Amino acid sequence: MIKHVSDTSAWVAYYRALETERSDSIFKDNFARLLLGYRSTEFARVQSNVNKWTNWTVVMRTFIIDNMIRDLISQGHTTFVNLGAGLDSRPYRMQLDSKIKWIEVDFPHLIEEKNKVLSIFNPSCDLERVALDLSKHDERIALLESLSERFETIVVLTEGVLPYLSEEEVSELSDDMMRFPSFKFWICEYFSPKSYHVLKNPKQMKVLKHTPFKFFPEVWMDFFKSRGWKLVEIKYYVDTSEQLGRATPLPAIFKLISFFMGKKWALPFRRMSGYIMWKR
């Protein structure tokens, strides 16, 4: 099912649909099943422990990003650019405002699909979609330049995008945004080196054999700081999960060892992944 990087957007939508259908759901995405269409049944057939972990991370990151967006809006920021938006439905499911400008960018076939499926619904904000293969550097630069000319302050979201890019490609994307002063904030994932063995898990890699994870910088934080980004906020999945009263998929043996070794020993493992907000 995952034959192209764009197919991972259906994976994310599937887990958001599962969360929506829980009686104790922490968010509601009533558009996820609709956007999935026929693929919903296919994803249901491939449940495994790897999927359990991914399910949890998708739910946590969705909650974290939603709150980061709300916080930025409360601070007066009104322009958001979702690069690699996939089947995300935030302009519809979140109660935003008509003053919010939301721009989605993704492959032409995904944009066409979303336009068709969501045509009968009205977003809660001023929504614009751009059909663009972001790997085409010249076209990406032209888009960023155009957006920078139109808007004074832009928040960029790359949800679930960076892991599929090489270090060189992420560096290039960062440099591209740094060329234009309007790109003030960047929301993206965080992984510590301790999580790399999970991301490279053979079962995970088998599922993603056509679109493997490639972004494994030596020190995640330093990679971005050295390119001019300053840390505004980081939210870790485990901390967020426990605050919400949601069980984590950490192995039982880890929890047992943590009990005896103490919080200091467990902290690096508890903070292996999450989401970051950067400011230039």
Cβ neighbours, 10 Å, residue 244: 13
Mean pLDDT over all residues of the chain?
90
Rg for the chain, CA atoms, rounded: 18
pTM of the entire predicted model = 0.90
The answer to whether 31 touches 92, Cβ cutoff 8 Å, is yes
Longest CA pairwise span in the chain (Å): 56
Over the stretch 45-99, which tens digit does the pLDDT of each residue have? 666 555 788 899 999 999 999 999 999 999 999 999 999 999 999 999 999 999 9
Q: Residue 105 CA to chain centroid, in angstroms?
A: 14
pLDDT of 273 above 80: yes
Distance, CA of 274 to CA of 262 (rounded, Å): 22
The answer to whether 82 touches 103, Cβ cutoff 8 Å, is yes
Over the stretch 118-157, which tens digit does the pLDDT of each residue have? 999 999 999 999 999 999 999 999 999 999 999 999 999 9
Pair type for strands 101-106 and 126-131? parallel
